[in-house]
Amino acid sequence: MENREIAEVLIEIADLLELQGANPFRVRAYRNGARTVADTSRPLAEMVEAGEDLTELPGIGKDLASYITELIETGESSVLEEAREKVPSSVRELMRIDGVGPKRAMLFYEELGVETVPELEEALEEGEVGQLPGFGPRSLERLRQGIEDYKRHTERFRLSDADRVVAPLLEYMGAAPGLVAVETAGSYRRRVETVGDIDLIVIGDPPEAIMDHFESYPEAARTEIAGPSRGTIVLKNGLHIDLRILPEESYGAALHYFIGSKAHNIAVRKLGIERGLKINEYGVFRVEGTTGGEDEAPDVGEKIGGAREEDIFEAVGMVWVPPELREDRGEIEAALEDDLPDLVVLDDIRGDLHMHSRWSDGEASIEEMARACAERGYEYMAITDHSVAVRVANGLDPKRLEEQWEEIDEVRKRVPEIEIFRGMEVDILPDGSLDLPDEYLDELDLVIVAVHSRMGLPEAEMTDRIIRGISHPAVDILAHPTGRLINRRNPYAVDLERVMEAARERGVALELNSNPARLDLSDVHLRRARELGVRVAVNTDAHRVANLDLMGYGIDQARRGWLEAEDLINSMGLPEFRRWLEREG
C-alpha cells in the first residue's frame, strides 16, 4: 500500500467525520495525519514491516498509528467502514461545490436524500432545495452557479495554465487607480504543481476603486464576492481569482499570510503565541493579557511589525523562508536554526540533457536545438531521441542512430560554442533489458533510460524491471521515474525507495522532468532523493525549441524539493560534468 492511498483513506475518514458533525479538531487531526503521510517519501508500509514506531511522525499519535497499521496489514480500515455506515461516501462530493460545506451537504442528504451532485442538481430544479431553511433566492442562484462550475472544472489547474492567465491579469491590475503594488500569493506563489485558484495581494487607495477595476476585468465571467477589502471573480475559463486589498503598513504580513501554506501559517502563529505575540494578516502584535472576563479575548497591544515579510519571521526568531518551502515540512525548524538549504536557481543550470529532434518525434533539427541551447547560455546539451521500441515516436534503430551521429558531428562544427553530447532515451523493455545493443550503448556519451510501455505491471515487477534497466553499466539517467501525467495518468506502481537506493549504488541520476504536465519526480520524492544522496538531472524533455524554456518549472519543483545546485548533475561546469560521465557506476 502506497502512502498516497493511506492518505486518501485518512482524508475520507476526515470528510465523513466532518459531515457527521464530529469535533472539528478531531477532523483536523485526521487531515494533519493525511498530510504527514503524503509528505513522507519513505513508504509507511516499509516502516511498519520494519517494526518502526509511526508515532514518531508529526501528527501521528497512538490511534492514527494503529489505524494506519491495520490498513497496511489488512488492506482495510474498520474506522473507515464505521464512518461509511453513517454517511455514504458519495456525499463528500457535494462539499466540492463552491459554497457547500459539511453542514449544507448533510442537510441535502438528510432532508432530500441527495447523495450525488446530479441528484442535487435535480432537487434544485424540482424546487426541493428552495424548501430548505436558509435557502433564499440568492443562495439558490449561487448553488446553481457552483454546480455549473463543478461540472465544468473539477480538476485543479496546472501551474503552466495558471501562468498564462496571471501574466495579463497582473498587467491589467497594474493599471488600477491608486494602486501601489500588486503581487501573487497562495499556492501559485509557492509554485505548487497545480493550483485551485489565484490569490492576489494589492496595496493601494481607495480600495473601492481598485475593487471596481478588478470586477471589470474583461476576462471575468462574473463576480462572486466583492467586499471592501476582499473580492473574488470567476474567469471565463472557470479559474477563481481572489483579491485582498490591504494598507501599506500591512504589506509584509499580508504577503506572508496569503502566500501560506495554511499549515506553515499555523506553525508560525503558534511560535508567535509562545512568544506572547499575535500574528495576523495586518501585522505582528504584542498580547497584553486579558482584561477580565472569562471569554474576554486577549488585548491586542502594540504593533511591532508587518510592513515587510521579514518582520514576521524575525518576530518569531526565524530567517526568511523562500515561498517554495512554506509547507510545514521542516522549514520552520530549519529557519529557526538558520539552516535552510541554499536553493537552486535557474542560473545554476549549465546544460539540458534530455531533448528530442526531428530524428524521432521532435519538431526541430539538431542544429536548431543546439543554437537555442547556446542562446540560453548552456555549456553543453544532449540530443536524446527515442529508441526503436517507441514506434509512435519514430524511434531510432541502430542504423538510423549511426546516421544521426554523422549529423551531430556536423552540427558540432557549425555550433562550436556548445558541447553536444550523443545521447538517447532508450526504452526499458518489459523484462528490464534495454532497447539498444550494447555496442551502441557503449558508443553513446549519455544514456537515458525510461519506461514507455506496459505501465500496468504489478509493483514488484515494475520495480525489478526498472532496477534491471538502470543496472546496465552504460546508463546515466532514469527519465520521468514514475510516468505520471498531472490530472491525466497516475504514476505507475513502483517502489521508488528501492529504485532510489539502486540508483545511488550504481551512480545513476534520477530525472526531474520539467514538463509542467509531468514534473516527475514530485517535490516529496526529490526531497527523499536528496536525503538518500541520489543525484538529480533537471531536464526539459523538449520536443521543440520553445520547450527549452520549461526549465523554469523544473527549477520551481526542485526548489520545492529542497534541492541545492550541488544535488544536480547538470549544474556542473563542463569539465566536471565530463568527469561525471566517465565515473565508475
Give yes or no for residue 61 binding DNA (CB under 7 A).
yes
* DSSP one-letter code for 542: B
Given its phi and psi angles, is residue 454 left (phi above 0), alpha (psi -120 to 50 degrees) or beta?
left
**Among residues 274, 337, 402, 409, the one that binds DNA under rule CB under 7 A:** 274
Question: Does residue 579 interact with DNA by CB under 7 A?
Answer: no
Question: Tell me, what amino acid is at 275?
Answer: R
Nearer to DNA, 55 or 365 (CB): 55
How far, in Å, CA of 557 to CA of 190, rounded?
Answer: 10
Whether the ω angle into residue 170 lies within 30 degrees of 0, i.e. cis, is: no
Cell for 471? 543496472
* 138 lines the binding site for DNA (CB under 7 A): yes
Q: At 364, list the grid cell.
A: 526541430
Note whether 8 binds DNA by CB under 7 A.
no
Q: Which stretch binds DNA (CB under 7 A): 91-99, 344-352, 430-438, 530-538?
A: 91-99
Give the residue, chosen from 38, 95, 485, 565, that forms a contact with DNA under the rule CB under 7 A.
95
The nearer residue to DNA, 99 or 573, going by C-beta atoms, is 99
Instruction: For the CB of residue 280, give the shortest distance to DNA in the complex, in Å.
Output: 4
| Binding of residue 271 to DNA (CB under 7 A) | no
Give the one residue of 121, 199, 556, 567 binding DNA; rule: CB under 7 A.
199
Dihedral sign of CA atoms 12, 17, 21, 24 in order: negative
Contact 482, 451 (CB under 8 A): no
242 vs 379 by CB, closer to DNA: 242
Binding residue (CB under 7 A) for DNA from 135, 172, 217, 320: 135
Strands 300-305 and 240-246: unpaired
Q: Are 202 and 229 in contact (CB under 8 A)?
A: no
Residue 280 in contact with DNA, rule: CB under 7 A: yes
Judge whether 420 and 357 are in contact, CB under 8 Å: no
Q: Is residue 46 involved in binding DNA (CB under 7 A)?
A: no
At position 508, the amino acid (one-letter code) is V
Name the strands in the sheet holding 477-478, side by side, starting at the edge strand that comes first in the sequence: 351-352, 380-386, 419-427, 446-450, 477-478, 509-513, 536-539
Residue 255 or 477: the one with the smaller Cβ distance to DNA is: 255
> Which stretch in 57-65, 322-330, 440-448, 559-567 sits in contact with DNA by CB under 7 A?
57-65
Q: Comparing C-alpha atoms, which of 441, 540, 426 is closest to residue 478?
A: 426
Name which position in 112, 159, 162, 186 contacts DNA (CB under 7 A): 186
What is the C-alpha separation between 242 and 5, in angstroms, rounded? 31
Verify binding: residue 33, DNA, rule CB under 7 A.
yes
Site membership for DNA, residue 399 (CB under 7 A) = no
| Contact between 229 and DNA per CB under 7 A | yes
Nearer to DNA, 64 or 466 (CB): 64
Closest distance between DNA and the C-beta of residue 554, in Å? 26
- Binding residue for DNA (CB under 7 A) from 35, 92, 104, 326? 104
State CA 14 to chain mean position distance. 22
SS3 225: strand
Cα–Cα distance measured from residue 181 to residue 348, given in angstroms and rounded to the nearest whole number: 30
Contact (Cβ atoms closer than 8 angstroms) between residue 143 and residue 100: yes
The yes or no reply on residue 265 touching DNA (CB under 7 A) is yes
Tell me if 227 contacts DNA by CB under 7 A. yes
Q: What is the rounded CA–CA span in Å between residue 542 and residue 368?
A: 12
Q: CA-CA distance, 555 to 293, in Å (whole number)?
A: 53
**Grid coordinates of 81:** 467502514
* Residue 281 binding DNA, by CB under 7 A: yes
- Please check whether residue 157 is in contact with residue 239, taking contact to mean a CB–CB distance below 8 angstroms: yes
Looking at beta carbons, which pairs linking 365-369 to residues 24 or more positions away fall under 8 Å?
366/404, 366/407, 366/408, 366/411, 366/420, 367/411, 367/414, 367/415, 368/545, 369/542, 369/545, 369/548
**Residue 38 sits in the site that holds DNA (CB under 7 A):** no
**Considering beta carbons, is residue 168 or 227 the nearer one to DNA?**
227
Please tell me whether residue 375 adopts helix, strand or coil conformation: helix
Residues in the chain: 585
Q: Note whether 226 binds DNA by CB under 7 A.
A: yes
273 touching DNA, by CB under 7 A: yes
- 39 forms part of the interface with DNA (CB under 7 A): no
Q: How far is 92 from 105, CA to CA, in rounded Å?
A: 8
H or E element in which residue 383 lies: strand 380-386
Provide the minimum distance between the beta carbon of 287 and DNA in the complex, in angstroms, as a whole number.
8
Q: Give the closest residue to 61 by CA, choosing from 39, 29, 37, 27.
A: 29
| 197 scored as a contact of DNA (CB under 7 A) | yes
- Residue 530 phi/psi, 5° resolution? -65, -45
258 binds DNA (CB under 7 A): yes
State the cell numbers at 519.
514534473
Using the contact rule CB under 7 A, the part of the chain among 26-34, 160-168, 454-462, 512-520 near DNA is 26-34
One of 236, 270, 489, 579 touching DNA (CB under 7 A): 270
Residue from 65, 373, 383, 449 in contact with DNA (CB under 7 A): 65
The residue from 50, 62, 75, 392 that contacts DNA (CB under 7 A) is: 62
Q: Identify which range of 1-9, 138-146, 319-327, 522-530 contacts DNA by CB under 7 A.
A: 138-146
- Residue 139 within binding range of DNA, rule CB under 7 A: yes
Report in angstroms how near the CB of residue 336 gets to DNA at its nearest: 13
Shorter beta-carbon distance to DNA: residue 144 or 454 = 144
Nearer to DNA, 271 or 319 (CB): 271
98, 249, 501, 564: which one binds DNA (CB under 7 A)? 98
Using alpha carbons, select from 521, 579, 568 the residue that is nearest to residue 353: 568
Residue 230 touches DNA, criterion: CB under 7 A: yes
Q: Residue 135 phi/psi, 5° resolution? A: -115, 90
Q: How far apart are CA 112 and CA 122, in angstroms?
A: 11
Window contacting DNA (CB under 7 A); options: 93-101, 306-314, 475-483, 570-578: 93-101
Assess 304 for contact with DNA (CB under 7 A).
Answer: no
Candidates 100-108, 157-165, 384-392, 542-550; binding stretch for DNA (CB under 7 A): 100-108
* Site residues for DNA per CB under 7 A: 23, 25-26, 28-30, 32-33, 55, 58-65, 79, 95, 97-105, 133-140, 142, 186, 196-197, 199, 225-230, 240, 242, 258, 262, 265-266, 269-270, 272-274, 278-282
